[in-house]
């Protein structure tokens, strides 16, 4: 009879504990237990976390921080929102981190290089091809905003800077127009309605057509 007896699979006690208390609490208890016996797990400090930060969990994968409280953090993973203790569940940054120490360059240089990289990344750097669209008579010109109150200071804006903003606005309107026309879920009536608003925007901006060198570049 003993020969016919089926051998039951042996379940690890941690697996049984996990099924009772849940994976979230199980991970925290396991990490705490490991610390008690002298095994440390690299963890992420709560004060280093911020909303929108990408973090990586050994089980849930990569998620985004949605909220941070005094002891816990809410992280949204592909499997849903989890409330975790970063210092107990082996969270780590999913993005490359850097620490700046012992700077040997002037602070103004660091700021200038950082701002320059950001401007280029956001596409805010003035393009020479854009300035070439401006009429020659406006090159090196200045737009002056003069308040009625003579005691107040005038505001001067280089025309190249102002023209660049006008061209970027025009280009964004054109992209928006293309996306509306190509949208699959919009009906023809909805596309026509939205197109009317874009047309009105073009009409409001025709005042600045005199800044363009070529007529086909105008609004």
Residue 125 has what pLDDT? 58
Q: pTM score, two decimals?
A: 0.43
Residue 44 has what pLDDT? 67
Q: Is 207 left (phi over 0), alpha (psi -120 to 50) or beta?
A: alpha
Convert the pLDDT of each residue in 49-97 to its tens digit: 888 888 888 888 899 999 888 788 899 999 899 888 887 777 888 876 6
Reported for 130-135, long-range contacts at CB under 8 A and 24+ positions apart, including other chains, are: 130/163, 130/164, 130/167, 130/168, 131/160, 131/163, 131/164, 132/213, 133/163, 133/167, 133/212, 133/213, 133/214, 133/217, 134/159, 134/160, 134/163, 134/211, 134/212, 134/213, 135/210, 135/211, 135/212, 135/213
Residue 219 · residue 199 · CB < 8 Å: no
HSE toward the beta carbon, residue 6, CA cutoff 13 A? 2
Mean pLDDT by 10 residues, the chain (219 residues): 49 41 48 53 68 87 87 88 83 73 71 77 64 88 92 92 89 90 90 92 92 88
């Amino acid at each position: 009879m003993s020969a016919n007896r089926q051998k039951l699979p042996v379940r690890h006690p941690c697996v049984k504990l996990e099924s009772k208390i849940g994976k979230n609490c199980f991970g925290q208890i396991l990490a705490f237990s490991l610390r008690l016996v002298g095994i440390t797990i690299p963890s992420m400090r709560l004060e280093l976390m911020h909303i929108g930060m990408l973090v990586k969990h050994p089980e849930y994968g990569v998620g985004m921080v949605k909220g941070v409280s005094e002891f816990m953090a809410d992280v949204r993973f592909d499997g849903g929102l989890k409330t975790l203790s970063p210092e107990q569940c082996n969270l780590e940054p999913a993005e490359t981190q850097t620490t700046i120490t012992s700077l040997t360059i002037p602070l103004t240089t660091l700021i200038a290089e950082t701002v320059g990289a950001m401007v280029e990344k956001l596409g805010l750097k003035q393009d020479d091809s854009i300035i070439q669209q401006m009429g020659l008579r406006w090159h090196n010109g200045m737009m002056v905003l003069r308040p009625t109150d003579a005691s107040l200071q005038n505001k001067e804006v280089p025309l190249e800077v102002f023209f660049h903003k006008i061209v970027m606005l025009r280009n964004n309107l054109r992209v928006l127009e293309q996306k509306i026309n190509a949208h699959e879920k919009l009906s023809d009536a909805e596309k026509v309605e939205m197109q009317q608003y874009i047309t009105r925007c073009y009409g409001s901006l025709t005042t600045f057509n005199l800044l363009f060198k070529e007529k086909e570049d105008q609004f």
